[in-house]
Amino acid sequence: MNSKYMFSLVMVILLFLIAYIGVEVAGLYRLFGIFIPYLAAFVFVVGFVYRVVYWAQSPVPFRIPTTCGQQRSLPWIRPASLDNPSENSGVVIRMFLEIVFFRSLFRNLRFNFNKGQKFSYEWEKWLWLGSILFHWSFFTVVIRHLRFFTEPVPLCLQWLEKADSFLRLEFVTDFVQIGLPGIFMSGLVLLAALIYLLLRRMWIPQVNYVSFAADFFPLFLIIGIAVSGILMRYFAKTDIVGIKEFTMGLVTFHPKAPEVSGIFYVHLFFVSVLLAYFPFSKLMHFGGVFLSPTRNLANNSRAERHVNPWNYPVKIHTYEAYEDEFREKMIEAGLPVEKELTTNGG
Protein backbone atom coordinates (compact mmCIF):
# COMPACT_ATOMS: atom_id res chain seq x y z
CA MET A 1 0.00 0.00 0.00
CA ASN A 2 2.88 2.33 0.79
CA SER A 3 4.37 1.80 -2.60
CA LYS A 4 1.99 4.28 -4.23
CA TYR A 5 3.04 7.24 -2.19
CA MET A 6 6.60 6.12 -1.76
CA PHE A 7 6.90 6.05 -5.52
CA SER A 8 5.64 9.62 -5.81
CA LEU A 9 7.76 10.80 -2.92
CA VAL A 10 10.87 9.25 -4.44
CA MET A 11 10.02 10.84 -7.78
CA VAL A 12 9.82 14.27 -6.20
CA ILE A 13 13.08 13.72 -4.30
CA LEU A 14 14.69 12.68 -7.57
CA LEU A 15 13.42 15.82 -9.24
CA PHE A 16 14.88 17.81 -6.37
CA LEU A 17 18.26 16.15 -6.81
CA ILE A 18 18.23 16.62 -10.55
CA ALA A 19 17.69 20.35 -10.20
CA TYR A 20 19.96 20.85 -7.22
CA ILE A 21 22.86 18.87 -8.58
CA GLY A 22 22.23 20.15 -12.06
CA VAL A 23 22.75 23.70 -10.89
CA GLU A 24 25.05 23.47 -7.90
CA VAL A 25 27.38 20.81 -9.31
CA ALA A 26 26.98 20.88 -13.06
CA GLY A 27 26.18 24.58 -13.27
CA LEU A 28 23.40 24.06 -15.84
CA TYR A 29 21.86 27.46 -15.12
CA ARG A 30 20.60 28.03 -18.62
CA LEU A 31 19.02 24.59 -18.85
CA PHE A 32 17.09 24.93 -15.58
CA GLY A 33 16.58 28.67 -15.75
CA ILE A 34 15.62 29.18 -19.36
CA PHE A 35 15.16 26.11 -21.46
CA ILE A 36 13.05 24.00 -19.09
CA PRO A 37 10.76 26.82 -17.88
CA TYR A 38 10.02 27.90 -21.45
CA LEU A 39 9.41 24.34 -22.53
CA ALA A 40 7.15 23.72 -19.53
CA ALA A 41 5.15 26.87 -20.16
CA PHE A 42 4.78 25.86 -23.78
CA VAL A 43 3.64 22.34 -22.90
CA PHE A 44 1.22 23.74 -20.36
CA VAL A 45 -0.43 26.21 -22.70
CA VAL A 46 -0.56 23.91 -25.70
CA GLY A 47 -1.55 20.89 -23.63
CA PHE A 48 -4.26 22.76 -21.77
CA VAL A 49 -5.76 24.24 -24.90
CA TYR A 50 -5.51 20.90 -26.68
CA ARG A 51 -7.41 19.16 -23.88
CA VAL A 52 -10.16 21.74 -23.72
CA VAL A 53 -10.55 21.68 -27.50
CA TYR A 54 -10.63 17.87 -27.36
CA TRP A 55 -13.51 18.06 -24.89
CA ALA A 56 -15.33 20.77 -26.78
CA GLN A 57 -15.18 18.76 -30.01
CA SER A 58 -17.73 16.35 -28.58
CA PRO A 59 -21.26 17.67 -28.42
CA VAL A 60 -23.59 17.66 -25.43
CA PRO A 61 -26.38 15.58 -26.93
CA PHE A 62 -28.76 15.66 -23.98
CA ARG A 63 -29.55 18.02 -21.16
CA ILE A 64 -28.55 16.04 -18.13
CA PRO A 65 -28.25 18.48 -15.22
CA THR A 66 -28.27 16.87 -11.82
CA THR A 67 -31.22 18.56 -10.20
CA CYS A 68 -30.53 19.28 -6.55
CA GLY A 69 -33.73 21.04 -5.67
CA GLN A 70 -37.30 21.80 -6.65
CA GLN A 71 -37.99 22.24 -10.38
CA ARG A 72 -39.84 25.22 -11.77
CA SER A 73 -43.34 23.93 -12.40
CA LEU A 74 -46.49 25.49 -10.96
CA PRO A 75 -46.35 29.22 -10.27
CA TRP A 76 -47.08 28.83 -6.56
CA ILE A 77 -44.33 26.27 -5.91
CA ARG A 78 -41.03 27.94 -5.19
CA PRO A 79 -38.31 26.60 -7.45
CA ALA A 80 -34.73 26.13 -6.27
CA SER A 81 -33.37 28.50 -8.87
CA LEU A 82 -29.71 27.83 -8.02
CA ASP A 83 -29.74 24.10 -7.34
CA ASN A 84 -32.17 23.35 -10.11
CA PRO A 85 -31.89 26.33 -12.42
CA SER A 86 -34.44 26.68 -15.19
CA GLU A 87 -32.73 29.74 -16.61
CA ASN A 88 -29.21 30.59 -17.65
CA SER A 89 -28.83 33.25 -14.97
CA GLY A 90 -29.36 30.53 -12.38
CA VAL A 91 -26.83 28.32 -14.16
CA VAL A 92 -24.25 31.11 -14.06
CA ILE A 93 -24.69 31.54 -10.32
CA ARG A 94 -24.69 27.77 -9.77
CA MET A 95 -21.42 27.48 -11.69
CA PHE A 96 -19.92 30.45 -9.88
CA LEU A 97 -20.73 28.94 -6.49
CA GLU A 98 -19.44 25.58 -7.67
CA ILE A 99 -16.15 26.86 -9.04
CA VAL A 100 -15.38 29.53 -6.45
CA PHE A 101 -16.90 28.03 -3.31
CA PHE A 102 -17.04 24.28 -4.07
CA ARG A 103 -20.72 24.20 -3.26
CA SER A 104 -21.24 20.51 -4.00
CA LEU A 105 -18.35 19.51 -1.81
CA PHE A 106 -19.80 21.73 0.90
CA ARG A 107 -22.82 19.41 1.03
CA ASN A 108 -20.63 16.45 1.87
CA LEU A 109 -22.23 14.01 4.32
CA ARG A 110 -20.38 11.32 6.20
CA PHE A 111 -22.12 8.01 6.63
CA ASN A 112 -22.01 6.50 10.11
CA PHE A 113 -23.08 3.04 11.14
CA ASN A 114 -24.21 3.59 14.71
CA LYS A 115 -25.23 1.35 17.57
CA GLY A 116 -28.62 -0.27 17.23
CA GLN A 117 -27.99 -0.65 13.51
CA LYS A 118 -28.95 2.93 12.89
CA PHE A 119 -27.46 4.88 10.06
CA SER A 120 -26.75 8.56 10.19
CA TYR A 121 -25.36 11.05 7.72
CA GLU A 122 -23.59 13.97 9.26
CA TRP A 123 -22.26 17.10 7.65
CA GLU A 124 -18.59 16.61 6.87
CA LYS A 125 -16.88 19.93 6.31
CA TRP A 126 -13.19 19.05 6.60
CA LEU A 127 -12.63 17.95 3.05
CA TRP A 128 -14.36 21.09 1.83
CA LEU A 129 -12.34 23.25 4.20
CA GLY A 130 -9.04 21.61 3.29
CA SER A 131 -9.77 21.90 -0.42
CA ILE A 132 -10.93 25.46 -0.36
CA LEU A 133 -7.98 26.56 1.75
CA PHE A 134 -5.62 24.78 -0.58
CA HIS A 135 -7.08 26.21 -3.78
CA TRP A 136 -7.51 29.73 -2.50
CA SER A 137 -4.11 29.98 -0.90
CA PHE A 138 -2.47 28.48 -3.98
CA PHE A 139 -4.32 31.02 -6.09
CA THR A 140 -3.16 33.84 -3.80
CA VAL A 141 0.42 32.63 -3.98
CA VAL A 142 0.30 32.50 -7.77
CA ILE A 143 -1.18 35.99 -7.99
CA ARG A 144 1.39 37.27 -5.52
CA HIS A 145 4.14 35.91 -7.74
CA LEU A 146 3.01 38.19 -10.53
CA ARG A 147 5.15 40.83 -8.80
CA PHE A 148 8.11 39.06 -10.34
CA PHE A 149 6.72 39.50 -13.81
CA THR A 150 5.56 43.11 -13.66
CA GLU A 151 7.45 46.37 -13.39
CA PRO A 152 6.23 48.53 -11.79
CA VAL A 153 4.27 46.18 -9.55
CA PRO A 154 0.56 47.05 -9.92
CA LEU A 155 -1.07 48.60 -6.93
CA CYS A 156 -3.57 45.76 -6.54
CA LEU A 157 -0.72 43.28 -6.14
CA GLN A 158 0.82 45.46 -3.47
CA TRP A 159 -2.50 45.55 -1.62
CA LEU A 160 -2.80 41.79 -1.90
CA GLU A 161 0.66 41.42 -0.38
CA LYS A 162 -0.24 43.75 2.43
CA ALA A 163 -3.41 41.85 3.17
CA ASP A 164 -1.61 38.53 2.94
CA SER A 165 1.12 39.56 5.35
CA PHE A 166 -1.07 41.29 7.93
CA LEU A 167 0.29 38.91 10.49
CA ARG A 168 3.64 40.22 11.61
CA LEU A 169 5.47 37.74 13.65
CA GLU A 170 8.90 38.85 14.63
CA PHE A 171 11.25 36.21 15.78
CA VAL A 172 14.84 37.15 15.41
CA THR A 173 17.81 35.22 16.76
CA ASP A 174 21.33 34.81 15.59
CA PHE A 175 20.39 31.73 13.63
CA VAL A 176 16.91 32.33 12.27
CA GLN A 177 15.19 35.53 11.40
CA ILE A 178 11.50 35.12 10.87
CA GLY A 179 9.12 37.98 10.54
CA LEU A 180 11.27 40.69 9.12
CA PRO A 181 10.00 40.26 5.58
CA GLY A 182 6.43 39.90 6.89
CA ILE A 183 4.90 36.48 6.95
CA PHE A 184 2.63 35.55 4.07
CA MET A 185 -0.35 33.67 5.40
CA SER A 186 -1.07 32.15 2.02
CA GLY A 187 2.17 30.18 1.95
CA LEU A 188 1.64 28.70 5.39
CA VAL A 189 -2.02 27.94 4.77
CA LEU A 190 -1.08 26.33 1.48
CA LEU A 191 1.42 24.05 3.17
CA ALA A 192 -0.94 23.18 6.01
CA ALA A 193 -3.81 22.39 3.60
CA LEU A 194 -1.51 20.26 1.45
CA ILE A 195 -0.39 18.28 4.44
CA TYR A 196 -4.00 17.76 5.47
CA LEU A 197 -4.93 16.57 1.97
CA LEU A 198 -1.92 14.27 1.89
CA LEU A 199 -2.59 12.76 5.30
CA ARG A 200 -6.23 12.15 4.53
CA ARG A 201 -5.24 10.40 1.32
CA MET A 202 -2.85 8.22 3.29
CA TRP A 203 -4.97 7.55 6.32
CA ILE A 204 -8.61 7.32 5.27
CA PRO A 205 -8.68 3.69 4.13
CA GLN A 206 -11.20 4.13 1.29
CA VAL A 207 -9.48 7.20 -0.08
CA ASN A 208 -6.13 5.49 0.10
CA TYR A 209 -7.60 2.47 -1.63
CA VAL A 210 -8.81 4.46 -4.65
CA SER A 211 -5.62 6.52 -4.94
CA PHE A 212 -2.92 6.01 -7.53
CA ALA A 213 0.68 7.13 -7.41
CA ALA A 214 -0.59 9.82 -9.77
CA ASP A 215 -2.76 11.17 -6.94
CA PHE A 216 0.15 11.52 -4.52
CA PHE A 217 2.60 12.95 -7.02
CA PRO A 218 1.04 16.43 -7.41
CA LEU A 219 0.64 16.68 -3.64
CA PHE A 220 4.31 15.97 -2.99
CA LEU A 221 5.30 18.20 -5.87
CA ILE A 222 3.29 21.19 -4.66
CA ILE A 223 4.53 20.58 -1.13
CA GLY A 224 8.02 20.75 -2.66
CA ILE A 225 7.15 24.03 -4.32
CA ALA A 226 5.74 25.49 -1.11
CA VAL A 227 8.62 24.32 1.06
CA SER A 228 11.29 25.59 -1.31
CA GLY A 229 9.48 28.91 -1.57
CA ILE A 230 9.15 29.27 2.18
CA LEU A 231 12.78 28.30 2.67
CA MET A 232 13.90 31.00 0.26
CA ARG A 233 11.78 33.67 1.82
CA TYR A 234 12.41 33.09 5.49
CA PHE A 235 15.50 30.96 5.89
CA ALA A 236 17.91 30.60 2.98
CA LYS A 237 17.70 34.16 1.79
CA THR A 238 18.09 34.47 -1.98
CA ASP A 239 19.12 37.35 -4.15
CA ILE A 240 15.66 38.76 -4.75
CA VAL A 241 16.86 41.55 -7.00
CA GLY A 242 18.73 39.13 -9.21
CA ILE A 243 15.69 36.90 -9.44
CA LYS A 244 13.42 39.74 -10.39
CA GLU A 245 15.82 40.71 -13.17
CA PHE A 246 15.75 37.11 -14.34
CA THR A 247 11.95 36.73 -14.28
CA MET A 248 11.49 40.05 -16.07
CA GLY A 249 13.93 38.74 -18.63
CA LEU A 250 11.82 35.60 -19.02
CA VAL A 251 8.63 37.48 -19.76
CA THR A 252 10.33 39.93 -22.09
CA PHE A 253 12.12 37.07 -23.85
CA HIS A 254 15.59 38.29 -22.95
CA PRO A 255 16.32 35.75 -20.28
CA LYS A 256 19.59 35.60 -18.40
CA ALA A 257 19.87 32.83 -15.86
CA PRO A 258 21.35 34.22 -12.64
CA GLU A 259 23.86 32.30 -10.60
CA VAL A 260 21.75 32.23 -7.46
CA SER A 261 21.39 29.40 -4.97
CA GLY A 262 20.32 25.94 -6.03
CA ILE A 263 17.18 26.15 -3.91
CA PHE A 264 15.79 28.75 -6.29
CA TYR A 265 16.36 26.46 -9.21
CA VAL A 266 14.71 23.61 -7.35
CA HIS A 267 11.68 25.82 -6.82
CA LEU A 268 11.64 26.79 -10.48
CA PHE A 269 12.13 23.23 -11.64
CA PHE A 270 9.25 21.95 -9.48
CA VAL A 271 6.99 24.63 -10.92
CA SER A 272 8.10 23.70 -14.43
CA VAL A 273 7.37 20.03 -13.82
CA LEU A 274 3.94 20.92 -12.41
CA LEU A 275 3.11 23.00 -15.47
CA ALA A 276 4.23 20.34 -17.90
CA TYR A 277 2.44 17.60 -15.95
CA PHE A 278 -0.79 19.54 -15.64
CA PRO A 279 -2.47 18.95 -19.02
CA PHE A 280 -1.89 15.19 -18.89
CA SER A 281 -3.28 14.64 -15.45
CA LYS A 282 -6.30 14.93 -13.24
CA LEU A 283 -5.26 18.51 -12.56
CA MET A 284 -7.26 19.27 -15.69
CA HIS A 285 -10.29 19.29 -13.41
CA PHE A 286 -9.52 23.01 -13.35
CA GLY A 287 -10.68 23.23 -16.96
CA GLY A 288 -13.21 20.42 -16.85
CA VAL A 289 -15.31 21.78 -14.02
CA PHE A 290 -16.49 24.54 -16.35
CA LEU A 291 -17.72 22.02 -18.88
CA SER A 292 -19.49 19.50 -16.67
CA PRO A 293 -22.92 18.89 -18.27
CA THR A 294 -24.57 17.95 -14.99
CA ARG A 295 -23.87 21.43 -13.65
CA ASN A 296 -23.67 23.89 -16.51
CA LEU A 297 -27.07 23.30 -18.10
CA ALA A 298 -30.48 24.60 -17.18
CA ASN A 299 -33.16 22.09 -16.34
CA ASN A 300 -35.60 23.40 -18.91
CA SER A 301 -35.68 20.58 -21.42
CA ARG A 302 -39.43 20.15 -21.11
CA ALA A 303 -39.97 23.83 -21.86
CA GLU A 304 -37.29 24.35 -24.51
CA ARG A 305 -36.33 21.86 -27.16
CA HIS A 306 -32.68 20.94 -27.10
CA VAL A 307 -31.16 19.59 -30.29
CA ASN A 308 -28.80 16.64 -30.47
CA PRO A 309 -26.52 17.16 -33.49
CA TRP A 310 -26.10 13.44 -34.10
CA ASN A 311 -29.68 12.41 -33.55
CA TYR A 312 -30.27 9.71 -36.13
CA PRO A 313 -33.43 7.90 -37.19
CA VAL A 314 -34.02 4.54 -35.55
CA LYS A 315 -36.10 1.52 -36.31
CA ILE A 316 -39.33 1.58 -34.37
CA HIS A 317 -42.27 -0.73 -34.07
CA THR A 318 -45.05 1.26 -35.71
CA TYR A 319 -48.69 1.26 -34.71
CA GLU A 320 -49.55 -0.26 -38.08
CA ALA A 321 -47.26 -3.23 -37.47
CA TYR A 322 -48.67 -3.56 -33.98
CA GLU A 323 -52.26 -3.52 -35.17
CA ASP A 324 -51.44 -5.97 -37.93
CA GLU A 325 -50.21 -8.43 -35.35
CA PHE A 326 -53.04 -8.00 -32.86
CA ARG A 327 -55.98 -6.83 -35.00
CA GLU A 328 -58.16 -9.86 -34.47
CA LYS A 329 -57.75 -9.82 -30.72
CA MET A 330 -58.30 -6.09 -30.60
CA ILE A 331 -61.56 -6.29 -32.49
CA GLU A 332 -62.73 -9.13 -30.31
CA ALA A 333 -61.98 -7.09 -27.19
CA GLY A 334 -63.85 -4.10 -28.60
CA LEU A 335 -60.77 -1.94 -29.06
CA PRO A 336 -60.93 0.52 -31.96
CA VAL A 337 -58.77 -0.34 -34.97
CA GLU A 338 -57.59 1.53 -38.05
CA LYS A 339 -58.26 -1.28 -40.51
CA GLU A 340 -61.00 -3.87 -40.28
CA LEU A 341 -60.23 -7.54 -40.75
CA THR A 342 -59.96 -8.53 -44.37
CA THR A 343 -61.72 -11.69 -45.35
CA ASN A 344 -59.51 -13.59 -47.67
CA GLY A 345 -61.82 -16.48 -48.15
CA GLY A 346 -59.61 -18.80 -46.16
> Rule CB under 8 A: which of 41-70 touch other proteins?
51, 54-64, 66-70
Find the binder of other proteins among 42, 121, 139, 159 (CB under 8 A): 121
Cα angle for residues 222, 226, 231 (degrees, 5° grid): 145
Q: Least distance from C-beta 57 to other proteins, angstroms?
A: 8
Beta carbon of residue 82, minimum distance to other proteins (angstroms, whole number): 12
Closest distance to other proteins from the beta carbon of 101 (Å): 10
Nearest approach, Cβ of residue 117 and other proteins (Å): 5
Calpha distance 157→184 (Å, rounded): 13
Residue 119 touching other proteins (CB under 8 A): yes
Stretch 286-315 residues interacting with other proteins (CB under 8 A): 287-289, 291-295, 299-308, 310-311, 314-315
Site for other proteins in 188-227 (CB under 8 A): 204-215
Return d(Cα 67, Cα 298) in angstroms, integer: 9
Residue 285's Cβ-count burial label (10 Å; 0-12, 13-18, 19+) is exposed
Please identify, using beta-carbon distances, which residue of 243 and 283 lies nearer to other proteins: 283
Nearer to other proteins, 68 or 192 (CB): 68
Stretch that binds other proteins, among 155-163, 172-180, 222-230, 278-286 (CB under 8 A): 278-286
Q: Under a CB-based contact definition with an 8 Å cutoff, are residues 187 and 230 in contact?
A: yes
Instruction: Check if the beta carbon of residue 97 is closer than 8 Å to that of residue 88.
Output: no
Nearest to 183 by CA among 193, 175, 191: 191
Q: Decide: 246 and 256 in contact? Cβ < 8 Å.
A: yes
Q: How many residues bind other proteins (CB under 8 A)?
A: 102
Q: Which of 253, 333, 342, 344 binds other proteins (CB under 8 A)?
A: 333
Q: How many CA atoms lie within 13 A of 97 on its CB side?
A: 15
Cα–Cα distance for residue pair 312/296, rounded to 1 Å? 25
Kindly identify the residues of this chain, within the stretch 159-188, that bind other proteins according to CB under 8 A: none
Of the residues 39, 167, 169, 335, which one makes contact with other proteins according to CB under 8 A = 335
CB neighbour class for 343 (10 Å; exposed up to 12, middle 13-18, buried from 19): exposed
User: Around Cβ 15, how many Cβ atoms within 10 Å?
Assistant: 19
Least CB distance to other proteins at residue 18 (A): 18
What residues between 75 and 94 interact with other proteins by CB under 8 A?
A: 76-80, 83-84, 86
Give 29 or 326: the residue with its C-beta nearer to other proteins. 326
Q: Which is nearer to other proteins, 267 or 295 (CB)?
A: 295
Q: Minimal distance in Å, beta carbon 106 to other proteins?
A: 9
Nearest-approach distance from CB 140 to other proteins, in angstroms: 20
Question: What distance in Å separates the CA atoms of residue 207 and residue 127, rounded to the nearest whole number?
Answer: 12
What is each CA distance from 233 to 178, 238, 264, 278, in whole angstroms?
Answer: 9, 7, 10, 26
Nearer to other proteins by C-beta: 66 or 89? 66
Q: Distance between CA atoms of 242 and 199, rounded to whole angstroms?
A: 37
Per-residue contact flags (x/-) with other proteins for residues 221 to 260, judged by CB under 8 A: ----------------------------------------
Task: Scan residues 93-112 and list those touching other proteins (CB under 8 A).
Answer: 98, 102, 104-105, 107-111
Residue 221 Cβ, how far from other proteins at the closest point, in Å?
Answer: 14
Provide the residue count of the chain: 346
